[in-house]
């Protein structure tokens, strides 16, 4: 008997296979987008922890010299005093057009690096003599191995799975040669086991600064906000996907009422039916979920390289561009699919189970209940207020997202009531019976379409909001680049002596030479890079200062004050007239705060004298050179030839800008991709809803047809209705999108990146989006319109003969 | 101290399976290393310093001490040099590697630790005149080899000792040319076994003033063992009448190879050829999961020596990069005395 019931239930899908496909696509889309985001996040997080563990960066204290490199003699002093420290020399290394991080570790003092252990335990362990003596060996990830193999100038390469991408690990003896820094040490790692009876570090090497792991910037923490951002997008996509499921399941149940009534009349219990339908939904959810996972996996694979580029660009966080399939991810995805499907079907199933045995099937199922509409509107209002309240009360990134979530869901819930109100106002203003009928008919169909329209509202609002945010950011960023990159050439000499030689030669030929000198200090919020500048009008005129005291530049140049970047200002809540301690006993007043996009760390600017005071001997080998723009290319070439400089040692402003912009564009590729996908899903939701409604529409259209409107007119009205509803929704989405953009710029960005951006509006983009929405609505309505056009009049006549 | 050569060769990066492959591939001149040859005449103090053209070398000091608390103690201080290539150079690229081992053995406990460094940067090394051997803060130094100060520290132990030589240097084998197998593998090997020692041991719970006797071994080579040799048992014993005995047994698939040096109290020596001394394990203890012979029967019929050698502490395991057993022993039987025992390959 159960089998017969199952057959009867399944027969529905045989007839309505398109509906089945829609349902599965809905589940798959929801699961796919969500899973893709999860996979990307998981992969990125795994990369960070791998990087941290592999390089043992996070766990040990380390020693740094604020003035720059630590000389080897200092290392030997410490060692001969018993301190167990391991020397590390690191720096950027350009090869094959990529900048990699070259990390040279004293492999004798600190041999327990995972990559080294892995190499030892391989089938062909490398000979220590090869690793420690010229030419040495480079340990790199498999990905990099292909890039580095076959470069004559490089030592032989060994691949390992235990290294993050973009890192070359080698012995310090090899690194000093490749980086051309003989005898230099970037930092000393304090090893965990120290012998008894040590003298304090301050007595042996007073100039070295001990930095504990908590003071170092934590990649995972830094990028949390970025991942939360992605997750929010994933969740939004999931929700939009569920709208499709909800619409389709609602329709399917409505259409099945006939079968169910018959089955019940034949003696099948409601309990059995509900269980069977639940089982059926779960089964469908599993299939849809699996398809979604497949989709998600490929999507994540396609997006990951861009995400990796973003994370590298924004935070310098190492992420591989490769995806590994994890069981946990598969299970979570399937669970989400089943959970989401049941959630989206719950209401329909509940109503079905409450259906009186003899209720007539059909129209009633779709008749909207004004009370429910009002309830939803009130609920929506509460959610918006709740989100706002959460943000005001708690603050922070999570509260910011709560504000966003409240705003979006609340507005979506209020949409039907708002649309209904608008339609009834329009209906009242309408003249003539056909017009009145059109407005009234639209209102009548609103309940069936409202979920799809909510999806559209969300997608459009997200589009406007995120679009505005990205475009505002781009505009600001480009302007900022113009302000910041004021020199025509940027030059890096191999050492201070060469720097002096070059600048002596250059001085008579150019407008100005601006030294770029910096040292790394530590602040309670993380690393702090201190820059020294000379007094050149270009800084006063161009530097992108957000807020400052009246004589900020004079104070800075006189050595009385410091300028700090926005990230530091927001993180440490430091503003003009507060003070900043550069060294424990060296405190300067903050004269101003400047914007510093794309930089994860804190930064401060002082006069050159102050820098020399704080960190005597800070290296002086980087310079900005100001000269006539037309001569820049020629001068760059002359410099390279005359001083035998490698290509990347002299960079032109234009190239630098292009590089910065490229990083910027990469940053938002993923955001835009998810944006477009969400809009696509919303369009699909409208299509399914319209198709659903279509099956219910004959009883309403037949009388109009009988009153004299022909099928062409009816089909036209069909299109018009869809366009009008979409247009109305779009109009409501615009203010929502702008609020969203405002929240993103002033709340989320500040929390996630540490900077606040001015908001710019782009009406042409809105127009474009509006047209796109109309096109989507038109496309979605085309199929029902065509059906209308081709509907045999006999079908319309039959309406009168049948139930009516 | 003959066959400790292996120790350093199995330095940090070498996986243990190398042991099973034997050392045929390390044979001398092919890789540019010098090889010991009979008839070499030592030049002191120069030969107290390093010989970078040889693959391995060590400065190996052990001492049997008595504390002012009435207890027996033993200490070890070793600096190994291992050359990846047969030359030295300045900076990180130096192919000379250094490894230090230090240990203190008490009747109940055994403390040990290890240090690694490379040459060329000043973190570790040896100078002959004035004599200084060092790695990190560990030092064995003095104006010459006759009076030395010795220091080493671990996390929870350490020592500061001074050593004074009471007799001459002692050459092993044929005037310092010490053969290690029937195939002719050999090393240069001399000792200073006549140190008196005094100083302080730093133990986790106490400081102990100690006095006693010390024994320094100097050895270098490039081609230490025959391919079939699996490990060794090495003895340095000081008897109450002032005589001393160095003896070792290399355990090989083709049979054991033994060698010994009898040192009279005036420093004169007699080399004891292969097969003339019997070194027999009497009983074992379970140490670090292995059966280690901690009681031995040593029999040298030519001199009427018939003694038993027992570990002061069975658990004198050196769990360093390359693991071995090294600890103080007491001698009973026809002679009484104390000494050190080293065992590898168990």
State whether A202 and A231 are in the same domain.
Answer: no
**What is the count of structural domains for chain B?**
1
User: Between chain A and chain B, how many beta carbons pairs sit less than 8 Å apart?
Assistant: 91
- Asked if the structure places residue A639 within a domain, the reply is no
- Asked if the structure places residue A161 within a domain, the reply is yes
* pLDDT confidence tier of residue B6, bands split at 50, 70 and 90: very low
State whether A65 and A196 are in the same domain.
Answer: yes
- Asked if the structure places residue B28 within a domain, the reply is no
State whether A41 and A134 are in the same domain.
Answer: no
Stretch (H or E) spanning A296: helix A270-315
- Asked if the structure places residue B191 within a domain, the reply is yes
State whether A267 and A177 are in the same domain.
Answer: no
**Rounded distance between C-alpha atoms, residue A592 and residue A590, angstroms:** 6
**End residue of a domain, out of A627, A647, A678:** A627
**Rounded distance between C-alpha atoms, residue A243 and residue A408, angstroms:** 14
A204 and B CB contact within 8 Å: no
State whether A353 and A493 are in the same domain.
Answer: no
A72 and B CB contact within 8 Å: yes
State whether A361 and A227 are in the same domain.
Answer: yes
B95 and A CB contact within 8 Å: yes
pLDDT number for residue B80 = 92
Stretch (H or E) spanning A441: helix A433-484
pLDDT number for residue A112 = 66
Which of B14, B118, B134 is opposite residue A108, by nearest beta carbon?
A: B118
Q: Considering only CA atoms, which of B175, B195, B208 is closest in space to residue B238?
A: B195
Q: Which chain B residues are closer than 8 Å to A111 by Cβ? A: 12-13, 116
A201 and B CB contact within 8 Å: no
**End residue of a domain, out of A215, A231, A253:** A215
pLDDT number for residue B13 = 29
Q: Which chain B residues are closer than 8 Å to A82 by Cβ? A: 136-137, 153
Q: Cβ-count burial of A108 within 10 angstroms (0-12 exposed, 13-18 middle, 19+ buried)?
A: buried
pLDDT number for residue A310 = 65
**Rounded distance between C-alpha atoms, residue A276 and residue A264, angstroms:** 13
Please judge whether A111 and B116 are an interchain contact, meaning their C-beta atoms are less than 8 angstroms apart.
Answer: yes
- Coil, strand, or helix at residue A324? coil
**Rounded distance between C-alpha atoms, residue A769 and residue A774, angstroms:** 9
pLDDT number for residue A193 = 85
Query: Which of B12, B18, B92, B155 is most worth mutating to test chain A (most A CB atoms within 10 A of its CB)?
Result: B92
Q: Which chain A residues are closer than 8 Å to B85 by Cβ? A: 129, 133
CB A408 within 8 Å of CB A458: yes
Query: Which of A77, A88, A133, A193 is most worth mutating to test chain B (most B CB atoms within 10 A of its CB)?
Result: A133
Which of B12, B155, B158 is opposite residue A193, by nearest beta carbon?
A: B155
Q: Which residue has the tokens 């706002």?
A: A388
State whether A161 and A259 are in the same domain.
Answer: no
**Rounded distance between C-alpha atoms, residue A128 and residue B329, angstroms:** 36
**Rounded distance between C-alpha atoms, residue A622 and residue A90, angstroms:** 18
Please judge whether B121 and A128 are an interchain contact, meaning their C-beta atoms are less than 8 angstroms apart.
Answer: no
A135 and B CB contact within 8 Å: no
Enumerate the β-bridge partners of residue B331.
B309, B337
Q: Considering only CA atoms, give the Rg of chain A.
A: 33
Which of B13, B91, B134 is opposite residue A173, by nearest beta carbon?
A: B91
- Asked if the structure places residue B130 within a domain, the reply is yes
State whether A671 and A796 are in the same domain.
Answer: yes
- Asked if the structure places residue B63 within a domain, the reply is yes
* Residues 228 through 257 of chain B touching chain A, CB cutoff 8 Å: none
Please judge whether B15 and A134 are an interchain contact, meaning their C-beta atoms are less than 8 angstroms apart.
Answer: no
* pLDDT confidence tier of residue B21, bands split at 50, 70 and 90: very low
User: If you count DSSP H runs as helices and E runs as strands, how many of each does chain A have, helices first?
Assistant: 25, 21
Please judge whether A76 and B122 are an interchain contact, meaning their C-beta atoms are less than 8 angstroms apart.
Answer: yes
Q: Which chain B residues are closer than 8 Å to A79 by Cβ? A: 117, 123, 136-137
Please judge whether B92 and A120 are an interchain contact, meaning their C-beta atoms are less than 8 angstroms apart.
Answer: no
pLDDT number for residue B8 = 38
Query: Which of B13, B32, B100 is most worth mutating to test chain A (most A CB atoms within 10 A of its CB)?
Result: B13
- Asked if the structure places residue A641 within a domain, the reply is no
User: If you count DSSP H runs as helices and E runs as strands, how many of each does chain B have, helices first?
Assistant: 2, 23
- Asked if the structure places residue A650 within a domain, the reply is no
Q: What is the pLDDT of residues B83-140, one digit of tens each?
A: 888 889 999 988 898 999 999 999 999 999 999 898 999 999 999 999 999 999 999 9
Q: Which chain B residues are closer than 8 Å to A81 by Cβ? A: 137
Q: Which chain A residues are closer than 8 Å to B154 by Cβ? A: 195-196
Q: Which residue has the tokens 């926005």?
A: A566
- Asked if the structure places residue A636 within a domain, the reply is no
State whether A206 and A285 are in the same domain.
Answer: no
pLDDT number for residue A800 = 79
Q: In chain B, what percentage of residues exceed pLDDT 90?
A: 71
Please judge whether A81 and B155 are an interchain contact, meaning their C-beta atoms are less than 8 angstroms apart.
Answer: no
Q: What is the pLDDT of residues B262-272, one digit of tens each?
A: 999 999 999 99
ipTM for the complex shown: 0.90
**End residue of a domain, out of A215, A248, A272:** A215
B13 and A CB contact within 8 Å: yes
A171 and B CB contact within 8 Å: yes
Which of B13, B91, B117 is opposite residue A183, by nearest beta carbon?
A: B91
Residues of the domain holding B154: 2-20+43-343
Which of A75, A109, A129 is opposite residue B84, by nearest beta carbon?
A: A129
Q: Are strands A586-594 and A579-583 parallel, antiparallel or unpaired?
A: antiparallel
In this model, does residue B321 exceed pLDDT 80? no
pLDDT number for residue A48 = 66
What residues have CB less than 8 Å from A146, skipping those under 6 apart?
none
Please judge whether B14 and A128 are an interchain contact, meaning their C-beta atoms are less than 8 angstroms apart.
Answer: yes
pLDDT number for residue B12 = 30
**Rounded distance between C-alpha atoms, residue A630 and residue A634, angstroms:** 8
**What is the count of structural domains for chain A?**
4
**Rounded distance between C-alpha atoms, residue A697 and residue A366, angstroms:** 11
pLDDT number for residue B10 = 37
Tell me the C-alpha to C-alpha distance, in Å, between residue A626 and each of A500, A507, A513, A644, B117: 17, 10, 6, 21, 48
State whether A464 and A392 are in the same domain.
Answer: yes
Dihedral sign, CA of A159, A161, A162, A166?
Answer: positive
**Rounded distance between C-alpha atoms, residue B140 and residue B62, angstroms:** 12
Q: Which chain B residues are closer than 8 Å to A106 by Cβ? A: 92, 118
B155 and A CB contact within 8 Å: yes
Residues of the domain holding A606: 489-627
- Asked if the structure places residue A634 within a domain, the reply is no
Q: Considering only CA atoms, which of A105, A96, A93, A161 is closest in space to residue A137?
A: A105
- Asked if the structure places residue A726 within a domain, the reply is yes
* pLDDT confidence tier of residue B7, bands split at 50, 70 and 90: very low
The CATH number covering residue B166 comes to 2.40.370.10
State whether A265 and A337 are in the same domain.
Answer: yes
**Rounded distance between C-alpha atoms, residue A244 and residue A690, angstroms:** 11
Q: Which residues of chain A have pLDDT under 50?
A: 361-367, 804
Please judge whether A171 and B158 are an interchain contact, meaning their C-beta atoms are less than 8 angstroms apart.
Answer: no
State whether A508 and A412 are in the same domain.
Answer: no
**Rounded distance between C-alpha atoms, residue B237 and residue B215, angstroms:** 9
What residues have CB less than 8 Å from B20, skipping those under 6 apart?
none
């Amino acid at each position: 008997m159960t089998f017969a019931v199952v057959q009867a239930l399944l027969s529905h899908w045989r007839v309505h296979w398109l509906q089945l496909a829609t349902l599965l696509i809905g589940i798959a889309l929801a699961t796919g987008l969500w899973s893709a985001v999860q996979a990307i996040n998981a992969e990125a997080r795994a990369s960070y922890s791998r990087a941290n563990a592999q390089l043992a960066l996070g766990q040990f204290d380390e020693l740094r010299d604020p003035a720059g490199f630590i000389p080897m003699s200092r290392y030997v002093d410490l060692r001969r005093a018993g301190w167990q420290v391991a020397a590390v020399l690191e720096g950027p290394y350009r090869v094959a057009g990529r900048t990699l991080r070259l990390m040279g570790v004293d492999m004798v003092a600190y041999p327990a690096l995972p990559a080294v252990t892995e190499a030892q335990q391989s089938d062909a362990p490398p000979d220590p003599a090869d690793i420690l003596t010229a030419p040495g060996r480079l340990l790199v990830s498999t990905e990099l191995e292909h890039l580095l193999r076959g470069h004559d100038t490089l030592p032989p390469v060994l691949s390992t799975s235990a290294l993050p991408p973009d890192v070359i690990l080698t012995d310090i003896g090899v690194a000093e040669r490749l980086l051309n820094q003989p005898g230099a040490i970037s930092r000393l790692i304090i090893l965990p086991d120290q012998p008894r009876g040590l003298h304090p570090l301050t007595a042996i090497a007073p100039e070295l600064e001990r930095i504990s792991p908590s003071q170092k910037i934590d990649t995972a923490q830094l990028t949390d906000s970025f991942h939360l951002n992605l997750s929010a997008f994933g969740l939004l996509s999931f929700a939009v996907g569920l709208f499709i499921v909800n619409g389709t399941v609602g329709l399917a149940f409505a259409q099945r009422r006939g079968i169910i009534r018959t089955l019940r009349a034949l003696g099948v219990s409601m309990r059995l039916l509900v269980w069977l339908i639940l089982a059926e939904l779960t089964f469908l959810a599993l299939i849809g979920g699996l398809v979604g996972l497949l989709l998600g996996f490929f999507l994540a694979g396609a997006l990951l390289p861009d995400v990796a580029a973003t994370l590298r660009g924004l935070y310098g966080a190492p992420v591989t561009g490769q995806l590994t399939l994890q069981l946990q991810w598969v299970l979570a995805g399937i669970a989400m699919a089943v959970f989401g499907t049941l959630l989206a079907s719950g209401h329909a199933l509940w109503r079905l189970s409450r259906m009186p045995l003899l209720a007539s099937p059909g129209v009633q199922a779709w008749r909207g209940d004004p009370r429910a509409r009002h309830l939803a509107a009130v609920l929506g209002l509460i959610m918006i207020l709740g989100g706002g309240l959460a943000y005001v009360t708690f603050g922070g990134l999570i509260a910011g997202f709560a504000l966003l979530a409240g705003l979006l869901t609340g507005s979506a819930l209020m949409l039907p009531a708002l649309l209904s109100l608008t339609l009834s106002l329009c209906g009242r203003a309408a003249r003539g019976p056909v017009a009145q009928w059109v407005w009234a008919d639209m209102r009548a169909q609103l309940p069936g379409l409202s979920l799809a329209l909510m999806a559209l509202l969300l997608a459009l609002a997200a589009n406007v909001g995120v679009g505005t945010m990205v475009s505002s950011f781009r505009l600001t960023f480009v302007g900022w680049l113009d302000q910041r990159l004021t020199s025509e050439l940027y030059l890096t000499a191999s050492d201070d002596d060469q720097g002096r030689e070059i600048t002596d030669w250059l001085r008579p030929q150019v407008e100005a030479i601006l030294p770029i000198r910096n040292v790394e200090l530590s602040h309670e919020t993380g690393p702090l890079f201190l820059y020294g500048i000379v007094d050149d009008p270009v800084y006063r005129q161009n530097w992108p200062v957000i807020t400052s005291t009246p004589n900020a530049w004079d104070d800075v140049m006189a050595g009385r004050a410091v300028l700090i970047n926005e990230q530091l200002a927001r993180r440490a809540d430091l503003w003009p007239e507060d003070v900043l301690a550069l060294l424990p006993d060296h405190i300067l007043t903050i004269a101003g705060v400047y914007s510093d996009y794309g930089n994860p760390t804190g930064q401060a600017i002082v006069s050159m004298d102050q820098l020399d005071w704080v960190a005597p001997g800070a290296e002086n080998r980087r310079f900005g050179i100001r000269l006539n723009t037309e001569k820049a290319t020629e001068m760059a070439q002359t410099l390279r030839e005359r001083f035998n400089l490698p290509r990347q040692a002299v960079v032109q402003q234009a190239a630098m800008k292009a590089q910065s912009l490229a990083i910027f564009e990469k940053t938002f590729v993923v955001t835009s991709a998810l944006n477009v996908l969400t809009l696509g899903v919303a369009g699909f939701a409208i299509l399914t809803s319209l198709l659903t409604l279509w099956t219910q529409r004959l009883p309403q259209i037949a009388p109009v047809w009988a009153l004299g409107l022909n099928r062409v007119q009816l089909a036209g009205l069909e299109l018009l209705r869809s366009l009008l509803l979409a247009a109305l929704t779009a109009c409501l989405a615009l203010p929502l999108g702008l609020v969203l953009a405002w929240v993103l710029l002033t709340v989320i960005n500040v929390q996630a990146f540490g900077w606040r951006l001015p908001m710019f509006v782009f009406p042409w983009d809105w127009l474009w989006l509006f047209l796109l929405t109309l096109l989507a609505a038109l496309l979605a309505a085309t199929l029902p319109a065509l059906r209308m056009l081709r509907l045999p009049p006999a079908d319309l006549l039959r309406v009168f003969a049948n139930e009516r | 101290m003959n066959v400790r050569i292996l120790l350093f060769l199995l330095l940090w990066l070498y996986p243990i399976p190398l042991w099973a492959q034997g050392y045929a591939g390390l044979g001398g001149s092919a890789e540019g290393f010098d090889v010991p040859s009979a008839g070499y005449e030592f030049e002191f103090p120069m030969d107290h310093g390093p010989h970078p053209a040889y693959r391995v070398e060590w400065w190996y000091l052990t001492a049997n001490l008595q504390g002012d608390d009435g207890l027996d103690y033993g200490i070890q201080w070793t600096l190994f040099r291992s050359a990846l290539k047969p030359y030295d150079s300045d900076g990180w690229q130096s192919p000379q590697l250094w490894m230090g081992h230090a240990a203190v053995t008490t009747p109940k406990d055994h403390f040990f630790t290890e240090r690694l460094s490379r040459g060329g940067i000043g973190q570790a090394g040896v100078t002959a005149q004035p004599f200084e051997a060092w790695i990190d803060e560990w030092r064995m130094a003095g104006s010459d080899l006759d009076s030395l100060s010795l220091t080493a520290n671990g996390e929870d132990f350490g020592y500061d000792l001074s050593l004074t030589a009471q007799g001459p240097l002692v050459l092993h084998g044929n005037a310092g040319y010490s053969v290690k197998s029937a195939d002719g593998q050999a090393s240069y090997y001399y000792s200073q076994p006549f140190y008196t020692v005094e100083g302080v041991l730093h133990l986790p719970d106490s400081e102990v003033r100690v006095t006693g006797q010390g024994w320094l071994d100097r050895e270098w080579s490039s081609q230490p063992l025959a391919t079939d040799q699996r490990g060794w048992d090495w003895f340095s014993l000081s008897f109450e009448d002032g005589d001393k005995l160095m003896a070792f047994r290399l355990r090989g698939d083709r049979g054991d190879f033994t060698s010994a040096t009898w040192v009279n109290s005036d420093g004169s020596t007699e080399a004891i050829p292969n097969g003339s001394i019997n070194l027999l394990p009497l009983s074992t203890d379970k140490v670090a999961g292995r059966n280690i012979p901690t009681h031995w029967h040593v029999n040298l019929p030519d001199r009427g020596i018939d003694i038993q050698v027992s570990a002061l502490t069975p658990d004198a395991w050196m769990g360093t990069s390359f693991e071995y057993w090294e600890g103080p022993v007491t001698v009973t039987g026809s002679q009484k005395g104390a000494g050190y025992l080293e065992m590898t390959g168990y």
